[in-house]
Every structure is written in structure tokens, then in C-alpha cells.
A and B are shown apart, each in its own frame.
Chain A
Amino acid sequence: MPEANQPTRAEQNTPSEVPPPGHIDGPFDSRSIDLGRIESLQVLDEHGQVEDGLDPKYDDETLLKVHRAMVLTRAFDARMLAMQRQGQMGTFAPNLGQEACMIGQVWSLGPDDWFAPSYRSFGAQIWRGWSMEHLMRLWAGYHSGFPPPDGVKDLPFSIVIGSHVLPSVGLAMAMRRAQDAHCAVVNFGDGAFSQGSVSEALNFAAVEQAPIVFVCENNGWAISTPIDKQSGNDVLATRGLGFGVRSLRVDGNDILAMMMATQEACRRAREGQGPTLIEAVTYRMSLHTTADDPSVYRDESLVDAWKNRCPIARFETYLANRNLLSSEQADQVRAACEQEVLDARTQFRETAVAEPRQIFDHLYAEMPDELEEQRLEYLRRLDRKGVK
């Protein structure tokens, strides 16, 4: 873990003579859970070396596929940023430096598992089957970009922070009732964790033993608010324990740790062993969104420290050590991904069509008379303006 050797603020603040909760004898004894320590997981250190005995030894094909997905995520990120700056894209939320979180949290999901993305989750969405052209339509403000593609069991991404977490738990509650042996993964950030509804979601999941994995990407920033202004306890995983949810802290820039942690959490969920909270510690190296200027509130030297923890570089060292990927091959992957993104852009430019006449069509299954009246009024406006 990046901060593994430093005591956390939570630890500093805990007087040693106070017994931990759950270890009180008598009527106040904990019902069932062991409110013990937070497990933490790092497999690859910052130099790409495997911690002793921890290598999960995933097969070559999986490792290379995951690597390519991370590179593609970064290529998409860079292109979207450029397109926004060129006036070809709406406001966009970059993901630079969080590629291991993105791919690690969804790689073990099957098509019948559910995934609920937040707006910075596009890498995971691509992995799940959203085409990049589709995501470009989404960010460029086309209605057709919002619904998940056919056959992809994802929620549309959330915009109001944390608003998708409760419905994700509801999905998992329904899955348990239907004896559907799959699971749901929901992705949110450190800022979202301050929303009451996210705490409610953890509580409902624990009470219901819902098959869900909460992945909180703690990237240190919620727009301009740093983690120490967001939370009085900077180990967000401890909150899960408070609700009775198995919780662990993972190096979010370590793809192998993310893969292991979510695979295990999903397996447990599918097998009826209840929810897990994974706090993925990472860093938002880029902007909150293209409407944001971090130089106003952040010393850029903070970012430099995280450049050395680049999840892709770290993984490439590991792959090179396993003789799976030379630097030439890595360059080829980068070039191929860049081309794939450019092809998506071409397709987006050729096919994205605004459909102003359709905006009334999906509010209700059957359009109420009063809405039909408003629709006709609106269509007359379009006619007057000569809009097709």
C-alpha cells in the first residue's frame, strides 16, 4: 500500500486502552461480526515487483487482455480530453491514473452479473461492452448514449454523486430473492461516501446479505475537496465494518491486487456470503472534469509523487519480468489502442444524430394526454424553426 507504513489518522486517534467494538462482554456483545482489523492488499509494489508469495498467477491471455484494456482506457481518456478542448465533446471527467481500479473491478464479472458505474467509470464500461463510439455519444449529449447497450447488464452512469448505490443494492436484493447466483458491483468515490444514501446502502446490503461488491475509489479528491476535508477518518474501509460489511483496503494502482480483491469479493457474493466493501486507494492525477482547474487548489508536486505509482507502468514491469510483454510490444499495444479510439471517433462523427423529435417518447410507457398536448406544442416549435 502506498501509505502502508504510516499510521492512519484513525489509528493515531484510537487510545490503546479502549477495547475495540465487538469485544465487549455481556449484553452489548456483538451479534455476529468480528469487528477486527481492516485487511489491506498490495501484490505489486511501486517497482512492479511481486510481494512474496502473493502472485495470483493469472494466465497469460487474461493478463494481456487486462493490460490492453488499461491502455485503451488511457487512450480513450486522452482523446476525449483533446476532443473536449477542440470543442467536439461535452464536459468530460478524465480517469488518468485510475485504470487499475477501472478494469480490476469488472474483469471477473460475467454477462449476468450487474455493474453500476459512476461517471468516471468509462474504462469499466468499455470492458463491459459499451462501445467507445457509444460513450462518445453519451458525453457529447446525445440521448442515445445513455442507455446501456443491448445485453449489457449495467445501470446508466450516475451523475448525482452516489445516487446509484442504493438501486444497486436493490438489484442485489432482487437477485437474492430470485436465487440468481450472480452479483452486482457498484463503483463510487470518496466524495460519494459522504452522501447519506451510500451509508444507507451499506446498511441495507448488510441486513439483507445482498450479493454486492462496493468499490469505493478513493482518489483523494472530490473536485477541490481533499480527503482530509471529506472525512474525519481517512481509512474509508472502516465504515464498512461499522455496518457489518466485510471490508478491505486495496492498492488501487495495483491491477493484480484489484483483480484478486474483486474476484474474491464477487465469488463470496455469488456464493451467498454477503457484501464486501473494497476501498481502492488511488489518485486523481488529472482534472475533476474539463470544467475544472486543479491549479487553483492543488499543489502539482502532489501529482508528481503519484506518477511513480502509474498502474500501467507498474503492470508492464511485471509483464516484462514474466516475459509476456516487451517494451516494443507495449508500444504496439499503445498504437493499436490509439487507432481503435480514432476509429471510434470516426464512427461517432458519422453516426451521432440528435433526435429532438424523440424527447417525449420514453417518459411513460403510454403517453398521457397532457404530455401529448405539450409534445404537439413542442413539435410546432420545431416545425417553425425548420428542425427535422
Chain B
Amino acid sequence: MPSITMVESLNLALDEALAQDNRVCLMGQDIGVNGGVFRVTKGLQARYGKDRVMDSPLAECGIIGTAVGMAIYGMKPIAEIQFSGFSLQAFDQIEQNMSRLRNRTQGRFEISMVMRTPYGGGIRAVEHHSESRETYWAHTPGLKVVIPSGPRNARSLLAAAIADPDPVVFYEPKSIYRAFREDVPEEPETMPLGKAQVVRPGEDITIISYGAMIRPVREAVDDLSDQHGIDVELIDLLTISPMDTTTLVESVRKTGRCIVVHEGHRTCGIGAEVVARLAEHGSFEYLVAPLRRLTAPDLPFPYFQVEQHFLPDPDDVVETACELMNWN
């Protein structure tokens, strides 16, 4: 089992998809010779040619719009948007075509495509390079939204996203692109979309998170266990939309307490959706403490000299968990 980073595992998943299915093609800015600004597509153009790994003109709307057309024709385009902050340039095509052409044609057109894009803070980037606006896509009917949290599930989920008959927005937590390695099997593997994963079973409190935030949350979970004797059930959403409500509700019925942690803004964020579902779906009578959200504030992502203070950190999680444990 090779031990690889997320950048390498994503590259592996793309390589496997290109090798397996000649309908698969990659498109995006600087993804060819340059291998993408984060090198996720490194070496693929040399292996599969310029028509299957295509350097696109610098126009996000154009990339997504033409990818939709390729999907109508029967190809499986995987479009890279260099940073998720730029994906809003493509909002037009995502909303009007990518997300709704199946519905608009009563199922005659299948838009089987993936929009991959790195999201989130933590890399000391310039403005517009640190956004976490996954809520936009979760709010758009017709899309699926997937966010991996480590090298192994990144590969499996990307393979599932490519195989999916519907359009998938695949957000890549770029701050952990190279942060750690995981063992992955030699053979391609996949995992179902729409399923959350109980990363660590526990009895006292449920913490729900995803993407790059899983790392600081894990740190907090260890601390809570070691220092405070609090047994956390940690759930990694993995697919933001459609959301695995059942797994969340079952967990909170058991623990009676819940914190949601994410990088996105609070108002109408994914956490708002999670707590609404918990409130609606029969967790209410099991709750022994209020539902809590730990998120970025409703502010534009700050310039990087202060970014280390902007996102929830392990201490926030520990403090909030302790507060909820002592609620009465």
C-alpha cells in the first residue's frame, strides 16, 4: 500500500478514470504541461494527450459551459476551476445548464460531469483564494456536493463523482493537499456518495464536520478524550448534498449534544442546514443541550496576516464541547 498525499491521490483517481473510460476528459486553466497550479493533474497531458487533458482559455464560465456541452454529447468532462473563489464566474453556467439540463429535458440529457476546485483557507493566499462557499452549490437543485478530508477518501470519492450520472461539485481542501499521507490500496477504490462516515464512535457528544476542518476537530477530539474524559462521536459528512440525515440524526439521538464545525460562513451555511435537520427529524426530544455551530464569521475571508485567527480551531471545539457537557 503506497503512502501518498491528497494531491497524489487525486492525481491517481484522475489517471485511473482517464485510463478506464475514454469518455473522460480534463479541462481547466494550466492543467496540461503545468499540471495545474497545485500539480493535481501533473503528467496527465503527457500520458493522454492535449485533447483529453485540455488547457482551457482563462474563463471559468467558458470552462463550465463548454464542459456541459461535452457532457450533452456523451463525454465525461472533469473541469478544474483553479480556485473556488473563481467558480463564481461560472455561476451562470452552473445554475442555468450544469445543474438543470437533466430536469429541463425530462431526463433526455445526462450531465455527468465534475467541477473540481480547491477551497478554503490556511495557505496564506491572496484575497479571493480562500473561500468556502459550498453552500451556494448545496442550495442549487440538481447538483451533488462532495468534500473529501484525506488522501484515501479523496481518491474514492473522486472516482465516485466521476462515475455518477449527475453533475458533482467536488471541493478539495487545499490546506491539506500535502499536509499528511495515507496508505491507499493498489487497486482503484470507490465509496458511495451521499453517505456520511462515523469516523470515531462516541457516547457523549456528536461533532459533525467535513473537509479541512476534520483535522483540527480530530485534535480536539483527542484532547477531549485525554484531558476531559469526554467521549466524542465524530462524523465526517463527506457529501454535503445530498446530506446523510439518517446518520446525523441517529448519532444525536444517542448523544443528545451536537456541534457542527466548518469553514464556510455561518448564515445559511451547511451548519444551519444540519441543525435544522436535527431539529426537524426527531432529535429534538433527545437534546440535553443547545445545538451549536462553529464556523467562519459572516465576513469576507481576511487577508492572510490574520487568517490564523479566523477559522475555528481545536480550542474552540474543546471549549464548546465542555460547555455543552456542563449544560443544565
Q: Are B57 and A203 in contact (CB under 8 A)?
A: yes
CB neighbours of B69 from chain A (8 A): 166-174
Chain A, interface size: which category?
Answer: 35 or more
Would you call A268 an interface residue if the criterion is a C-beta within 8 Å of the partner chain's C-beta atoms? no
Chain A hits for B243, CB < 8 A: 370
- The answer on a CB contact under 8 Å between B242 and A207 is no
How many residues of chain B are within 8 Å of chain A by beta carbon?
A: 45
Task: Decide if A204 is an interface residue (CB 8 Å cutoff).
Answer: yes
A196 near B66 (CB under 8 angstroms)? no
- Some 22 contacts from A to B, beta carbons below 8 A apart, are A144-B106, A147-B107, A156-B101, A160-B92, A163-B92, A163-B96, A166-B66, A166-B69, A166-B93, A167-B68, A169-B66, A170-B71, A170-B72, A174-B73, A200-B57, A200-B59, A201-B66, A203-B62, A363-B141, A364-B102, A369-B246, A370-B242
Say which residue of B71, B106, B144 sits within 8 Å of A147 (CB atoms).
B106
> Which A residues lie within 8 Å of B59 (CB)?
200, 203-204
Main SS of chain A's interface residues? helix
Whole-angstrom distance between the alpha carbons of A364 and B245 in the complex? 18
- Residues of B near A156 (CB, < 8 A) are 101, 104-105
Among B37-95, those with CB < 8 Å from A are 51-52, 56-57, 59, 61-62, 64-75, 77, 92-93
Interface assignment of A302: CB less than 8 Å from any CB of chain B:
no
Contact code string B214-237 (vs A, CB < 8 Å = 1, else 0) = 000000000000000000000000
Q: Which residues of A contact B62 (CB under 8 A)?
A: 166, 197, 200-201, 203-204
- A-to-B contact residues, CB < 8 Å: 143-144, 146-148, 155-156, 160, 163-175, 177-178, 196-197, 200-201, 203-204, 207, 361-366, 368-371
Complex contacts, A201 vs chain B, CB 8 Å:
62, 65-66
Shortest distance in angstroms between B274's beta carbon and chain A's nearest beta carbon? 12
Q: B102 contacts which chain A residues (CB < 8 A)?
A: 362-365
In-complex Cβ contact of A177 among B75, B109, B141, B245 (8 A)? B75
Contact B72 A155 (CB under 8 A): yes
Known: A164-B97, A166-B62, A197-B62. 14 other contacts (CB 8 A): A147-B109, A163-B93, A167-B72, A168-B69, A170-B67, A171-B73, A174-B70, A178-B73, A196-B61, A200-B57, A362-B102, A365-B102, A365-B165, A370-B242
